[in-house]
């Protein structure tokens, strides 16, 4: 009590002691759960393939010199809603803070040729995406717990072979994949990457995006089914104003018909609802006809101000509100062109004809 407290050393020692390793794997039947391991050592669990997986994982962590191992099946109490909610949102940060992530490639044999990682069941999981991006150091193990392709690197994530297979599995470059971070940026690309992933529960198609890709917090309600994705996207649209979320074709969400029921609709470029392009010669003719002798700067600025003051798209009580400017128009005239029909009208709503 008479010595100055060395907070720097305390933080360093605590951080060193509590370094932890996380397991990433494809769930199987009869995985050990929280209530099964809370009062028993994992090495005392009855013999089974899933218990053997957990025990071997813990042994590898121990032999590597670490004292703490984390596995989602038995370290999250799914029966406690607040705990589950916290885990879903914080998962990215947990993997990001780990000293290492061990990936168990169920079904990948030691003798597998190149490409087994890209085709593995693990690489089809929705949760895998955030785990791979977040973890700084990764070790891949085959089904008999030998290093994948006999890799001897300290970090398999830096292996050119692994990088190549992950690019093949995701369809994007390693640089693009690792550039993705939590937040409301590159939303369409994040949705596209998640669109090919599989989940055990329908709701996880949305919940796997909570912590990592969209950095938002919405209540997890297992049992709501396809409405979960609509609820997530409504939240994202309200916060970001990114209307590209509304460009899709497929089955509507029970949450709101403007949103999709399945994330698979984002697998590909945004659906275009624009008319076919008009030939340059025809466009020039139309532009010439619209030109006026004088330009009304004040009218243009008034129009700009009105557009600038429009609110972003948003949802409230499951109802969507889109920004718009409404003004009366006189009757339309129509005529045919080589690209189809053109409708024309004149208005002075903004002080311009």
Mean pLDDT of 211-232: 84
353 — pLDDT class (breaks 50, 70, 90): very low
Residues linked to residue 321 through DSSP beta bridges, in sequence order: 314
The pLDDT, as a whole number, for residue 231 is 92
Give the residue with greater pLDDT, 219 vs 217: 219
Domain check: are 259 and 324 in the same one? Answer: no
Asked if pLDDT for residue 161 goes beyond 90, the answer is yes
Overall domain count for the chain:
3
Within a domain: 280: no
Is there a contact between 33 and 73 (Cβ–Cβ < 8 Å)? yes
Within a domain: 352: no
Per-position b or e across 77-102, b if 16+ CB within 10 A of its CB: eeeeeeebbebbbebbebbbbbbbbb
255 — pLDDT class (breaks 50, 70, 90): very high
Is there a contact between 69 and 20 (Cβ–Cβ < 8 Å)? yes
- % of the chain beyond a pLDDT of 90: 54
352 — pLDDT class (breaks 50, 70, 90): very low
HSE toward the beta carbon, residue 256, CA cutoff 13 A: 20
Report which secondary-structure segment, H or E, holds 104.
Answer: strand 100-104
Task: Tell me the average pLDDT of the chain.
Answer: 87
Asked if pLDDT for residue 96 goes beyond 70, the answer is yes
Within a domain: 1: no
Is there a contact between 340 and 276 (Cβ–Cβ < 8 Å)? yes
The pLDDT, as a whole number, for residue 95 is 95
User: What DSSP string runs through 8-52?
Assistant: HHHHHHHHHHT-EEEEEE---TT---HHHHTTS-GGGSPS-HHHH
Range of the domain at 86: 9-179
The pLDDT, as a whole number, for residue 280 is 74
Domain limit, last residue, from 179, 206, 234: 179
Domain check: are 200 and 62 in the same one? Answer: no
272 — pLDDT class (breaks 50, 70, 90): low
Mean pLDDT of 79-97: 90
The pLDDT, as a whole number, for residue 25 is 96
Domain check: are 162 and 18 in the same one? Answer: yes
Burial class (CB in 10 A: 0-12, 13-18, 19+), 45: middle
Within a domain: 284: no
Q: Please give the structure tokens belonging to residue 101.
A: 């992530």
Asked if pLDDT for residue 290 goes beyond 90, the answer is no
Asked if pLDDT for residue 214 goes beyond 80, the answer is no
Dihedrals phi, psi of 268, to nearest 5 degrees: 140, 180
- % of the chain beyond a pLDDT of 70: 90
Domain check: are 184 and 174 in the same one? Answer: no
pLDDT digits (tens, 9 = 90+) for 167-198: 999 988 888 888 888 888 888 889 999 999 99
pLDDT digits (tens, 9 = 90+) for 46-59: 999 999 999 999 99
Domain check: are 17 and 113 in the same one? Answer: yes
2 — pLDDT class (breaks 50, 70, 90): low
Domain check: are 205 and 150 in the same one? Answer: no
pLDDT digits (tens, 9 = 90+) for 101-134: 999 999 999 989 999 999 999 999 999 999 999 9
Domain check: are 144 and 71 in the same one? Answer: yes
234 — pLDDT class (breaks 50, 70, 90): very high
Helix, strand, coil share (%) of the chain residues, nearest 5: 40, 10, 45
Mean pLDDT of 299-320: 83
Strands 319-321 and 100-104: unpaired
Within a domain: 336: yes
Asked if pLDDT for residue 343 goes beyond 90, the answer is no
Asked if pLDDT for residue 276 goes beyond 70, the answer is no
Domain check: are 270 and 125 in the same one? Answer: no
From the CA atom positions of the chain, what is the Rg in Å?
Answer: 27
24 — pLDDT class (breaks 50, 70, 90): very high
């Amino acid at each position: 009590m008479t010595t100055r407290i060395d907070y720097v050393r305390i933080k360093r020692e605590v951080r060193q002691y509590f370094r932890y390793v996380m397991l990433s794997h494809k769930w199987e039947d009869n995985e050990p759960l929280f209530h099964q391991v809370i009062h028993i050592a994992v090495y005392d669990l009855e013999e089974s393939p899933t218990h053997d997986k957990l025990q071997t994982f813990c042994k590898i962590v121990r032999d590597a010199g670490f004292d703490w191992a984390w596995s989602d099946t038995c370290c999250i109490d799914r029966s406690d809603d607040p705990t589950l909610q916290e885990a879903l949102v914080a998962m990215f940060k947990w993997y990001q803070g780990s000293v290492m992530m061990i990936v168990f490639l169920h079904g990948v044999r030691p003798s597998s040729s190149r490409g087994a990682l890209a085709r593995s069941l693990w690489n089809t999981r929705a949760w895998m995406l955030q785990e791979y991006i977040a973890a700084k150091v990764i070790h891949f193990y085959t089904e008999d717990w030998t290093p994948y392709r006999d890799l001897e690197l300290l970090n398999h994530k830096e292996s050119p072979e692994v990088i190549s297979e992950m690019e093949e599995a995701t369809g994007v470059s390693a640089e693009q994949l690792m550039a993705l971070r939590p937040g409301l940026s590159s939303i369409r690309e994040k949705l596209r990457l998640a669109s090919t992933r599989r989940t055990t529960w329908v709701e996880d198609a949305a919940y796997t995006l909570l912590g990592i890709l969209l950095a938002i917090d919405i209540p997890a309600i297992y049992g709501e089914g396809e409405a979960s994705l609509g609820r997530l996207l409504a939240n994202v649209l309200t916060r970001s104003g990114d209307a590209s979320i509304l460009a899709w074709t497929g089955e509507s969400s029970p949450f709101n018909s403007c949103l999709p029921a399945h994330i698979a609709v984002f697998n590909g470029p945004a659906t275009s609802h624009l008319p076919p392009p008009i030939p340059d010669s025809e466009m020039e003719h139309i532009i010439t006809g619209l030109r006026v002798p004088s330009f009304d700067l004040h009218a243009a600025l008034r129009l700009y101000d009105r557009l600038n003051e429009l609110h972003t798209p948003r949802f409230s009580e499951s109802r969507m509100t889109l920004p718009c400017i409404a003004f009366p128009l006189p009757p339309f005239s129509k005529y045919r062109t080589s690209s189809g029909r053109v409708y024309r009208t004149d208005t002075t709503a903004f002080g311009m004809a």
